[in-house]
Amino acid sequence: MSIVAKTSGANTRSEIFSEPQCWKACFQTLDKSRQLETLAAIIPPEAHCLFIGCGSSYYISQAAAASWQWITRRPARAIPASELLLFPDLVLNGRSRCQPILVSRSGRSSEVVQAADYLEKQRDIRTLAISCAQHQPLDRISSNTLYLLPADEKSVVMTRSFSSMLLGAQALAAQIANSREAAEGLRRIPDRMQVVLDSVHPRIQQFVDTHTFADYVFLGQGPLFGIASEGQLKVKEMSCSYAQVFHTLEFRHGPKAIAGPETLITFLLSETGYEEERKVLEEMKSLGATTLVIANQADELARQNADFLLELHLDAPECVRQVGYLITLQLLGLYTGLKKGYDIDSPRNLTRAVILDID
């Protein structure tokens, strides 16, 4: 009997396994609605983009901002909504035009909604929302919304909504930049990732079944840091395990003290930083850590130093490959939580959206 049959998590598992087909549905909806063309035309070319979110949506913002800069060559950064609400003058310096992009699956997260309200009404700045839901406080307040409606979920923990909203932001960047390479690369990802998903899920389930860890570390650089951040959150949310995230090369500056067999270190190896990131992998393996490695293509040294290796072989530009790294991290959280007997569909202390009682 599989561990999936022993305990609850059917919705979350189904939503992870639906991701490639969900992405196709999102692209079809975007093409039919022509949202990308409409929104690209109204974003000021001189504006720097400010991606804003909370929790997983903040990590979408990190990954999206990196992709946005890479594709459009326009400035972009990511902040938690609370930074804008508590320290607005540190965020909005007034020296350049700002295009806020607010990310929320439900459109109801209180801090994101407050941020939109503050920007629109107090700062007179037009906002763009990215959401999987219609007719919610966020899209009612925001001047414009990019909808990814096929990606909405029953589960508390974000999985396909995360990847779909990230792909939506990347598709919008490709439209703005008139980048055929990025746009076509994005649309090749679902079919390839269906093949990867079909092959990796029994491997990661077996890996989880045969290993127990006291600590989980996720390492990524550049466009993959937001994905590494989301990986540590998935393991925390789904399995109540201790998990941390670092920029890959930063891990050797002190944090490597925890390296050992009881620590699973997950490396998201980029193409641009591959050589230096792989050196950290070799160093941590020499210190006795257990290593999980995801790369688009790995060399022999990476293979020798990986206890678990996944090669993606995505035929898409590096700036839009992040979702390929994500699914394995979601499965790691899922199967670790199921092994520990948690109800993944109703994780402890969590709700689908953080809605505050605001006077």
Residue 356 above 90 pLDDT?
Answer: no
Q: Distance (Å, rounded) from C-alpha 109 to C-alpha 94?
A: 26
| pLDDT for res 350 | 67
Q: Which of 67, 354, 12, 21 is nearest to 183 (CA)?
A: 67
| pLDDT for res 349 | 73
Percent of the chain with pLDDT over 90: 89
Domain 190-339 fold: Rossmann fold (3.40.50)
Whether the pTM exceeds 0.85: the reply is yes
For residue 359, name the pLDDT band (cuts at 50, 70, 90).
low
Query: How far lies 200's CA from each of 311, 324, 350, in Å?
Result: 10, 12, 28
| pLDDT for res 93 | 76
pLDDT in tens, 250-275: 999 999 999 999 999 999 999 999 99
> What mean pLDDT is reported for the chain?
94
| pLDDT for res 46 | 87
Query: Rounded to a whole number, what is the distance in angstroms from the first to the last CA of the chain?
Result: 51
Do 226 and 61 meet the contact criterion of CB atoms below 8 Å apart? yes
Residues 151-175, mean pLDDT to the nearest whole number: 96
Reported as type and span, the H/E element at residue 243 is strand 243-246
| pLDDT for res 4 | 42
| Residue 272 DSSP symbol | T
For residue 358, name the pLDDT band (cuts at 50, 70, 90).
low
Residue 287 above 60 pLDDT?
Answer: yes
For residue 50, name the pLDDT band (cuts at 50, 70, 90).
very high
Tokens of 34: 């022509």
313: exposed, middle or buried (Cβ count in 10 Å: 0-12, 13-18, 19+)? exposed
Residue 357 above 50 pLDDT?
Answer: yes
| pLDDT for res 355 | 65
CA dihedral 85, 62, 329, 145 (to 10 degrees): 70
Residue 1 above 50 pLDDT?
Answer: no
Query: How far lies 215's CA from each of 7, 209, 241, 260, in Å?
Result: 23, 16, 7, 10
Residue 66 above 70 pLDDT?
Answer: yes
pLDDT in tens, 97-141: 899 999 999 999 999 999 999 999 999 999 999 999 999 999 999
Phi, psi at residue 267, to the nearest 5°? -105, 125
pLDDT in tens, 4-23: 444 578 999 999 999 999 99
Q: Radius of gyration over alpha carbons of the chain, in Å?
A: 20
Q: Distance (Å, rounded) from C-alpha 267 to C-alpha 287?
A: 15
Residue 2 above 70 pLDDT?
Answer: no
Q: Kindly give the pairing relationship between strand 76-80 and strand 48-53.
A: parallel
Q: How many DSSP H helices and E strands does the chain contain?
A: 15, 10
For residue 160, name the pLDDT band (cuts at 50, 70, 90).
very high
pLDDT in tens, 27-48: 999 999 999 999 999 999 888 9
| pLDDT for res 18 | 97
3-178: which CATH number, 3.40.50.10490, 3.30.70.260, 3.40.190.150, 3.30.465.10?
3.40.50.10490
Locate the domains of the chain by residue range: 3-178, 190-339
| pLDDT for res 6 | 46
Q: Distance (Å, rounded) from C-alpha 143 to C-alpha 24?
A: 27
pLDDT in tens, 187-246: 999 999 999 999 999 999 999 999 999 999 999 999 999 999 999 999 999 999 999 999
| Residue 2 DSSP symbol | -
